[in-house]
Amino acid sequence: MTTASAERTPHTPPAPAPPGPDRTGRRAERARRRAAERDGVPHAMRGTRGGRIVRGVLLTLAALVTVFPFYAMVVLSLKPSAAVEFPGSLLPWPLTGEAYGTVLGAQSVPRWLLNTLVYSLVSVVGVLLLAALAGYAFAKKRFPGREAMFWSFLSMVMVPYHVTMIPTFAMIAKLGGVDTYWGLIIPTLANAQAVFLMRQFVRSLPDELFEAARLDGCGEWQIFYRIVLPLLKPILATLGVFVFLWHWNDFLWPLVIGQSTDMRTLTVGIASLQQQNVPLNVVLSGSVIAFVPIFAAYLVGQRYFTEGVTTSGIKG
Amino acid sequence: MAVVAEPGRRGRRSGPQARREARIGLLFVLPCFLLFLAFRFGPGIAGVLMSFTDYSLTGGGHFIGLDNFIRLWHDPLFWSSLKVTVLYTVMAVPGTLLASVALALLTRRAFRGAKLFRSVFFLPVVTSLVLAATVFVWIFSTGGPWATFVSWLGLSDSGWLGDDVFVLPALAIVGVWSRFGYGMLILLARMQDIPRELEEAALTDGAGPWQRFRYLVLPQLRPALFFLAVLETTSSFQVFDAIYTMTGGGPANASYTLVFQLYDAGFKYFDLGYAATIGVALFVLTLVVALVQRLVIGKDQ
């Protein structure tokens, strides 16, 4: 997420404008844009009044069904005891933070949160750096075996993860990497999708950008650090958001590698709480704690999620 | 100069400049290449080789030919988990595609709140299935929200997760909930590419909403639907997180999938050779289904 927020800052206006008139101004602007979009559409295609009402009702129903599990998760996590019978427990009172006290005190949730943070953040930095280096070289440098190497990287997307997981685990176990951060992180840094998207992006940049720097007498590392990386900011932000998400939500690999209680990630830990018949409000408060960072990231960097999916089909 | 200025293009060059460029290129790719060698290519090949051995963490590693595959063929648990996996896929994938198309059509036009609806529908996609599973366990519990809802429709109000018939539909509902927002976004992007003039022409010709959808929108969506069908099928063949958390494969193996069997073989019984065999079976199955889908949906391309 650090990449995403760093990317966003230049776009935000330097000084906040007075709130009142600016907000109405922006609202008017949005209304104008909507009207302009509508104007291109013939009246019949916009649908009848009845049609619009049906659409509104259907969408509201679908949105309520979609949001219901989130609402239930939050409200039940704030219930006083394990008394979570339906439907009385869905009322937003009485509420108490009791379950949060339990989950943060008696359980290992803070440690799991730390593990998840280490796993996600180190992987984001590692994957982005390695993919940027490789993507740049694949796009702009000529070397023997370049195409063969690139396509063999890409072909590994086709092999299901579960085929490679068993030998990878056997190898990491032999090397003593079970229950360690390096055993958890290093095998996940080889990310074919990231290399592919990086190469596609660098290819779209004109060669002159890099040549000018070379004529100025910059070394290759300097060119990469000073010229290439700043040019890659948009793709680094989009990809960063997704790599963070994949690792934050990852389950099977952390499950097999983190075997002691202290080396679990949040997802693995919460699944274990669920299986140990821990009271529901306590489990759900753990879920809320694990969900809040993703939700915050989604609120802040939403356009990176949607653009990533619509422009390149990144798997959500 | 002209040669140096176009390093991305094809063509033969030599000399110290080209050698230097090749050296730099290889150097930049090297870290990634080593990682791929160690954690993708190596294990990919090893995964296939291991399926012909009795490798386990405690020893073994002898070549045993096709023994693992013969054992798999005679393993009733394999056939049961294959059936469960296929049944789950048959419910979850069409459900996801239908919901994706429906919500893409509903949020397609610019109207007040369209963006908000799209954001809401995408939220489950970014949510871990393990976290969602913790609350869906309650939603599907006896006397819970879902049971109460279906009791209005005349069904019993017992929990679906404890029922060996209804457990898979319940898990498929969770699967659809978590995936339809992704399909919706992909389809929305393709719908923007449909020329507005085409739709206007169809309107003046008096085509109704269904005809416009059937003959104008749907053909445009075909490649995207093919992409989604393959992607969603592949991922539902690998379904694990939600099932592990919600049912543990039960009741009585009624939700015990292939990846669950692979996980148990590898990490409960440490029978890594057999686990690799299940992995290979999963790989072959995925390839076959992708080919069949290509023949059925993608035949016009």
Contact A68 B283 (CB under 8 A): no
Using a CB–CB cutoff of 8 Å, tell me whether B288 touches chain A. Answer: no
For A24, the token pair is: 């109405």
Are the C-beta atoms of B185 and A306 separated by less than 8 Å? Answer: yes
Residue with tokens 């922006």: A26
Nearest CA among B112, B185, B190, B232 for reference residue A307: B185
Residues of B in contact with A207 (CB under 8 A): 5-8
HEC per residue, chain A: CHHHHHHHHHHCCCCCCCHHHHHHHHHHHHHHHHHHHHHCCCHHHHCCHHHHHHHHHHHHHHHHHHHHHHHHHHHHHCCCCCCCCCCHHHCCCCCCCHHHHHHHHCCCHHHHHHHHHHHHHHHHHHHHHHHHHHHHHHHHCCCCCHHHHHHHHHHCCCCCHHHHHHHHHHHHHHCCCCCCHHHHHHHHHCCHHHHHHHHHHHHCCCCHHHHHHHHCCCCHHHHHHHHHHHHCHHHHHHHHHHHHHHHHHCCHHHHHHCCCHHHCCHHHHHHHHHHCCCCHHHHHHHHHHHHHHHHHHHHHCHHHHHHHHHHHCCCC
Q: What is the per-residue pLDDT for B11?
A: 46
Residue B48: inside a domain, yes or no? yes
Residues B277 and B161 in one domain: yes
Residue numbers of the domain that contains B279: 75-296
Considering the entire predicted model, what is its pTM? 0.86
Within 222-261 of B, beta carbons closer than 8 Å to A belong to 227, 231, 234-235, 238, 240-241, 244-245, 248, 259
- Our measurement of the distance from residue A314's CA atom to the centroid of its chain's CA atoms, rounded to an integer in Å, reads 11
Q: What is the CATH number of the domain that holds B252?
A: 1.10.3720.10
Sign of CA dihedral B224, B227, B231, B234: positive
Q: Which residue of A has its CA nearest to B260?
A: A252
In a domain, B100, yes or no: yes
User: Does B50 fall in a domain?
Assistant: yes
Tokens of B264: 């148990």
Q: How many residues are recorded in chain B?
A: 301
Encoded amino acid at B146, one letter: W
Helix orientation angle between A109-140 and A233-249, rounded to the nearest 10 degrees: 140
What's the pLDDT score for residue A211?
A: 75
Per-residue model confidence (pLDDT) at position B3: 40
- Asked whether the predicted pLDDT for residue A27 surpasses 80, the reply is no
Return the pLDDT at A10. 36
Q: Answer whether A310 sits within 8 Å of B185, measured CB to CB.
A: yes
Tell me whether residue B27 is in a domain: yes
pLDDT of residue A13: 37
A260-280: pLDDT as tens digits: 999 999 999 999 999 888 888
User: SS in 3 state form for chain B?
Assistant: CHHHHCCCCCCCCCCHHHHHHHHHHHHHHHHHHHHHHHHHHHHHHHHHHHCCECCECCECCCECCCHHHHHHHCCHHHHHHHHHHHHHHHHHHHHHHHHHHHHHHHCCCCCCCHHHHHHHHHHHHHCCHHHHHHHHHHHCCCCCHHHHHHHHCCCCCCCCCCCCCCHHHHHHHHHHHHHHHHHHHHHHHHHCCCCHHHHHHHHHCCCCHHHHHHHHHHHHHHHHHHHHHHHHHHHHHCCCHHHHHHCCCCCCCCCCCHHHHHHHHHHCCCCHHHHHHHHHHHHHHHHHHHHHHHHHCCCCC
pLDDT at A2 over 60: no
Chain A: give the shortest CA distance to residue B71, in Å. 18
Amino acid A31: pLDDT = 65
Higher pLDDT, A38 or A133: A133
Residues B179 and B268 in one domain: yes
Q: Determine the Cα–Cα distance for residues A62 and A226; give it in Å rounded to an integer.
A: 48
Considering the domain architecture, whether residues B50 and B84 belong to the same structural domain is answered as: no
Instruction: Clarify whether residues B104 and B241 are in a common domain.
Output: yes
Is the CB of residue B201 less than 8 Å away from at least one CB of chain A? no
**Same domain, yes or no, for B125 and B256?**
yes
pLDDT score recorded for residue A47? 65
**Inside any domain, residue B5:** no
Whether A52 sits inside 8 A of B266 (CB atoms) is no
Pair A247, A188: CB distance under 8 Å: yes
Query: Do residues B220 and B99 both lie within one domain?
Result: yes
Q: Give the closest residue to B189 by CA, choosing from B120, B124, B100.
A: B100
Name the β-bridge partners of B56: B59
Domain count for chain B, please give it. 2
Separation of alpha carbons B230 and A302, rounded Å: 26
Residues B255 and B234 in one domain: yes
**Residue A83: which pLDDT band, with cuts at 50, 70 and 90?**
low
Q: By the 8 A CB rule, do A102 and A108 touch? A: no
Q: Does B4 map to a domain? A: no
**B1 in any annotated domain:** no
User: Are B61 and B80 members of one domain?
Assistant: no
Are B53 and B159 part of one and the same domain? no
Q: Which of B67, B84, B107 is the last residue of a domain?
A: B67
Cα–Cα dist B273/B50, whole Å: 5
Domain boundary among B42, B67, B92: B67
Which domains are present in chain A?
108-276 (1.10.3720.10)
Looking at the complex, report in whole angstroms how far the Cα of residue A224 sits from the nearest Cα belonging to chain B. 10
Greatest mean pLDDT among A83-87, A101-105, B10-14 lies in A101-105
Residues of A within 8 A of B185 (CB-CB) are: 306, 309-310
pLDDT for A41 equals 53
Return the structure tokens found at B98. Answer: 């239908």
Same domain, B119 and B146: yes
Band (pLDDT 50/70/90 cuts) for residue A7 is very low
B208 lies in a domain? yes
How many angstroms away from the CA of A271 is the closest CA of chain B? 5
| pLDDT at position B10 | 45
pLDDT, tens digit only, all 301 positions of chain B: 334 444 444 445 567 878 888 888 899 999 999 999 999 899 999 999 999 988 887 777 788 888 889 999 999 999 999 999 999 999 999 999 999 999 999 998 878 888 899 999 999 999 999 999 999 999 999 888 999 899 899 888 888 999 989 999 999 999 999 999 999 999 998 888 888 888 888 888 877 888 888 888 888 888 889 889 988 998 999 999 999 999 998 899 999 999 999 999 999 998 899 999 999 999 999 889 888 887 876 555 4
Among B28, B50, B67, identify where a domain stops: B67
**Which residues from B are below 8 Å from A160, CB to CB?**
234, 238, 279, 282-283, 286
On whether both B259 and B195 belong to a single domain, the answer is: yes
- State how far the Cα of A71 lies from the Cα of A79, in Å rounded to an integer: 13
Q: Is A204 exposed, middle or buried (0-12, 13-18, 19+ CB in 10 A)?
A: exposed
Q: Cβ of B198 under 8 Å from any chain A Cβ? A: no
Lowest mean pLDDT among A131-145, A211-225, B67-81, B205-219: A211-225
Residues B60 and B82 in one domain: no
